[in-house]
Structure 1
């Protein structure tokens, strides 16, 4: 009996030690595997990567949830994505992609070449109406040769193709005519899978255990908290409630500068702020009125007042694209000249004063820009009423061209064609301006079919000169982009195109 008690005691101690050791190993195994708390300004209007346009949506879906055939690194170089390699035929009209092995969707199904082919067909489907469709205008067919090989046939060579594919997410096959399935329940191949969406609260993502590079994913998940007030977000990162405020405005960045345990990352962003004009409606159907609007804008004053000086005046392409962009000084109408604006308005024959409305993207920096623009245009006889819809309504009105003017941002790209073809070519998939210019169309068609870079540079310089003064968009600024990062967040890197792809390799300590 005595021996049994001692044995029981030993067994009990061993059991307690075993439990303690298991607990230690479990803790060691999950150390750093925490959920990252992120605060963002707005809830997304939807989560379908082929439909959404607003940054509130795209920053969540592109990178964390979805991936493309090709990708961009931090220095904006094209690198392999879901395609590990590709080859192009001698005539430039057939591209063959070899897919990365071992990729699975978040529902556990393998990602195969037919999923890729289906995704590309979905983007050009009229039933879906994707704003990305113009990026694949050169595509004739997409065919799965076998499970890991995709053949893309083109109508003509396409210089921007590989850059365009970085922003086209691969989704499961069978959704080519369905524009509802992914809006609230996304299914991608990225490092994080969708878990929960509480409207006006948060979106929660969890680590995708079947991710092709799961060993590199250190976070247990990411929670995007919707916090409309900039001051509340600033307090939250200051006290450690949030570990990341991505893509904040200059005012918030200034407020947080020097805060303990908060560092600021910044870069010149690719996206530009703009005032868009609906050329299907008077008075912006008149080229002289569009030119006058440009002369009436003091871009430096706008940047100083609305962006606290953190930005560069915007020509049609960002200054970081040194091989492509014309300088602001080469566009005469970008020199502030209210007298010239008034003279052009008089020449236009339009009755003064002009009364129009401007719909604003519901983001603080855009509202601030719109208010300064309102004051400047008022001085030359253009009276502007400001409209401030919620995000979903703004996107709907924008897509339906339900505006006189709008103040917003346009997403950036390393490829000039991605800026111009979809937005300004006749019938372009995001040509909400209703702009049509046969001379510009011919240049854009030539630009995407020309493979020689010096020849393309000449073409796009001509494109910028047409768009700069009489196009439907008055480019305002390329802002400085900021992210506020807590000291315990490691591995996050700010990208000039606002991608949050680096969260796939980030960790908390």
Structure 2
């Protein structure tokens, strides 16, 4: 799979096992999908992704940035990722002091069970996120939210503890019906696997480890979908997903760049290379005595050949990365960018100065400890494997020995504090949305939130200032300070920003790529607007 860095087990680490990889996708009541030039049903689209949600409840972190197909938020994003009204009649209004945000709901919106949407459902959704008894990692994303109230059935008022400039973007969260969850334990409710939303599709069936079948919501407020059914196939292994694509099973599929390139000359398909804010890098744990050493981290940072990785591993579908804020962002700090190629002389000088001297086999040693560590990656992810191998080769040239290890996510979970990991994340929306949790000391060791236990007072202060400030110039200054300190400490060696690569059947019309975040499985993928897709 081409994504799936994991911030925390529950919201982000998708199920990646539990199906027979040789089994062919079978639609309910249908035979296996026919070849590319003969789709099984003109009104059914079959798409495939490498990861599967743990839950389909937005309160528990499903599709929190919108485009979830099943739910809608108060706001949505258009093809340019600009905020547009969703369940709200217009973009929410913000008070002069930035601490009161008000939204008015559309009239006549129905949930999939036919019950009407009201402001009480919005209030319930956000209060559930804030409820400490609910296992929602979104709660820390809403630290600024003091209260949410419904003065009437069509109005929702959010009151903030402090002005938080990107708060309207948080209103893309899907709204759940209060009636379906009130009085239940949200963490274990049946709703989590049999949800009811307002979105363009309703859940027809979910076969864990295999597929999700969605049926058109004819009463959708945005207009009846152009197709009747969407099947999302879950196929964890990159190569198996490519083989099944060759067999003509899918109308659209995410593939690693090299695998997708194999379809470039196939007239039955086209390859979409979608720009993203999705980065890959090496997370270096502070609990490992080798990777905790600043000289090792800084040497690796200049030893890796990012341009060669983009050219070779990504097949050109990406660009070098030096930090967690994408180069196209207004918050990007240009001073942190380094050389896209390797600088082994600089790496060697750093190691020499820190007392890491060449030993047996060219591996550097200090105080009897060899410069050696393990670099984990999820075994089914061919792209991360290739990145791990590339980092290993570059590190060896300067005397650092890395042992790549392809493991299951369950095995990786137990070793996060001791071994390095090829990770990734990223968002095109606002720098607060990912970096606050990924690099803040407050979250150190909380699963895939800051798994390397990196701590910096400078970074903590800058991240807090970035979310506390409403003034754009002050926010830019805060995130500049954050990026500079991160570049000095090197808790991660950032490698590349990806272009997500999809293979799409040539007969499919209406595909509209937009800049994607890291998370792009059922939600926020190329098929964010699949309800408008048709066949030529």
TM-score band by shorter chain is 0.7 to 0.9
- Residues 306 and 454 of structure 1, relative CA distance in 2, 3 Å threshold: same
Distance 2:467 2:114 in 1: 38
Q: Which runs of 5+ in 1 are unaligned?
A: 1-30
What is the TM-score of this pair, normalised by structure 1?
A: 0.82
Q: Is the 8 A contact 2:106 2:154 kept in 1?
A: yes
Shift of 1:220: 1.1
Q: Is the 8 A contact 1:237 1:262 kept in 2?
A: no
Query: CA distance change for structure 1 residues 140 and 183 in 2, over 3 Å: closer, same or farther?
Result: same
Aligned to 1:258: 265
How many Å apart are 1:369 and its aligned residue?
Answer: 0.8
C-alpha contact 1:238 1:259 (8 A) present in aligned 2: no
Query: Could you say what secondary structure the match of 1:312 adopts?
Result: strand
Alpha-carbon offset, residue 203 of structure 1: 1.6
The reply to whether residue 197 of structure 1 matches residue 197 of structure 2 is: no
> The residue matched to 1:294 in structure 2 has which SS?
helix
Contact 2:307 2:341 (C-alpha < 8 Å) held by counterparts: no
1:354 matched to which residue of 2? 371
1:483–1:494 CA contact under 8 A, matched in 2: no
Cα distance in 1 for partners of 2:139, 2:328 equals: 24
Q: Which secondary structure does the structure 1 equivalent of 2:432 belong to?
A: helix
Q: In the TM superposition, what are the counterparts of 1:290-301 in structure 2 within 5 Å?
A: 290-301=297-308
SS at match of 1:439: helix
From the superposition, tell whether residues 390 and 192 of structure 1 become closer, same or farther in structure 2 (CA, over 3 Å).
farther
Instruction: Classify the secondary structure of the residue corresponding to 1:432.
Output: coil
1:302 is aligned to 2:309: yes
Would the aligned equivalents of 1:315 and 1:326 in 2 still touch at CA under 8 Å? no
Match of 1:416 in 2: 431
Q: 1:432 aligns with which of 451, 469, 480?
A: 451
* Shift in Å, 1:232: 4.9
Partner of 1:464: 483
Q: How does 1:72-87 map to 2 (within 5 A)?
A: 72-85=77-90, 86-87=92-93
CA distance in 1, matches of 2:245, 2:228: 20
Find the counterpart in structure 2 of residue 21 from structure 1: none
Name stretches of at least 5 consecutive residues in structure 2 with no aligned partner. Answer: 1-39, 356-365
8 Å CA contact retained: 1:237, 1:486: no
Residues 98 and 242 (structure 1), Cα distance of their counterparts in 2 relative to 1, 3 Å cut: same
In 2, the alpha carbon distance for the partners of 1:124 and 1:149 equals 20
Q: Which position in structure 1 is the counterpart of 2:385?
A: 367
The answer as to 2:154 corresponding to 1:148 is yes
In structure 2, the CA distance between the partners of 1:381 and 1:69, relative to structure 1 (3 Å rule), is farther
Please state whether the residue corresponding to 1:456 is helix, strand or coil.
helix
> Relative to 1, partners in 2 of residues 1:239 and 1:488: Cα closer, same or farther, differing over 3 Å?
farther
Q: Corresponding residue for 1:34?
A: 43
1:96 and 2:105 matched? no
Asked whether the 8 Å contact 2:290–2:372 carries over to 1, the reply is no
Quick check: 176-185 or 434-443, which moved more? Answer: 176-185
- TM-score for both structures, normalised by structure 2: 0.78
* CA spacing shift, 1:180–1:366, aligned 2, 3 Å: farther
Report the CA distance shift for 1:383/1:121 in structure 2 as closer, same or farther (over 3 A).
farther
The offset of 1:100, in angstroms, is: 2.4
Q: Which string of whole-angstrom CA distances, capped at 9 and with x for unpartnered residues, describes residues 336-384 of structure 1?
A: 3334334434555665423332231342211211121122223334333
Secondary structure of the residue that 1:79 maps to in structure 2? Answer: strand
The number of aligned residues is 468
2:235 is the alignment partner of 1:227: yes
User: What is the CA–CA distance in structure 2 between the aligned matches of 1:411 and 1:197, rounded to whole Å?
Assistant: 28
Secondary structure of the equivalent of 1:482?
strand
Q: In structure 2, do the counterparts of structure 1 residues 198 and 392 end up closer, same or farther at CA, with 3 Å as the change threshold? A: farther
Range with greater deviation from structure 2 (38-47 or 72-81): 38-47
Measured in 2, the distance between the counterparts of 1:207 and 1:38 equals 15
* Matched-pair contact (CA < 8 Å) for 1:481–1:496: no
Determine the structure 2 residue equivalent to 1:243. 251
Q: Return the alpha-carbon distance in structure 1 between the equivalents of residues 258 and 146 of structure 2.
A: 47
**In structure 2, C-alpha distance between the alignment counterparts of 1:165 and 1:382, rounded to whole Å:** 46
Q: Which residue of 2 aligns with 1:268?
A: 275
**Per-residue deviation, residues 261-305 of structure 1 (Å, max 9, x unmatched):** 312222221111121122244344443433233123221122223
Q: Does 1:207 align with 2:216?
A: yes
Q: Deviations over 1:234-253 (max 9, x none)?
A: 455456432111x3221122
| Partner Cα distance (1:427, 1:439) in 2 | 13
SS in 1 for 2:97: coil
Measure how far apart 1:155 and its partner are. Answer: 0.9
- More moved, 475-484 vs 149-158: 475-484
Which residue among 493, 496, 509 is the counterpart of 1:474?
493
Q: In structure 2, do the counterparts of structure 1 residues 129 and 423 end up closer, same or farther at CA, with 3 Å as the change threshold?
A: farther
Distance 2:267 2:339 in 1: 45
Matched, 1:442 2:442: no
Name the CA shift for 1:63/1:271 in 2 (closer, same or farther; >3 Å).
Answer: same
CA distance in 2, matches of 1:61, 1:454: 28
- Of residues 405, 415, 420, the one that matches 1:405 is 420
Higher helix share: 1
* CA deviation after TM superposition for structure 1 residue 152, in Å: 0.8
Matched with 1:453 is 472
Task: Tell me the residue number matched to 1:171.
Answer: 176
- What is the Cα deviation at residue 416 of structure 1? 1.6
Q: 1:318 Cα shift?
A: 5.2
Matched, 1:501 2:509: no
Helix, strand or coil at the partner of 2:146: strand
**Contact 2:287 2:417 survives alignment (8 Å):** no
Compare CA radii of gyration and give the structure with the larger one: 1
d(CA) in 1 for partners of 2:289 and 2:135? 27
CA deviation vs aligned residue, 1:187-244 (integer Å, no higher than 9, x gap): 33221122222233222111123322242x1121111123345455445545643211
- Write the distance in 1 (CA, Å) between the matches of 2:162 and 2:83: 21
Aligned partners of 1:51, 1:406: CA distance in 2, in Å? Answer: 25
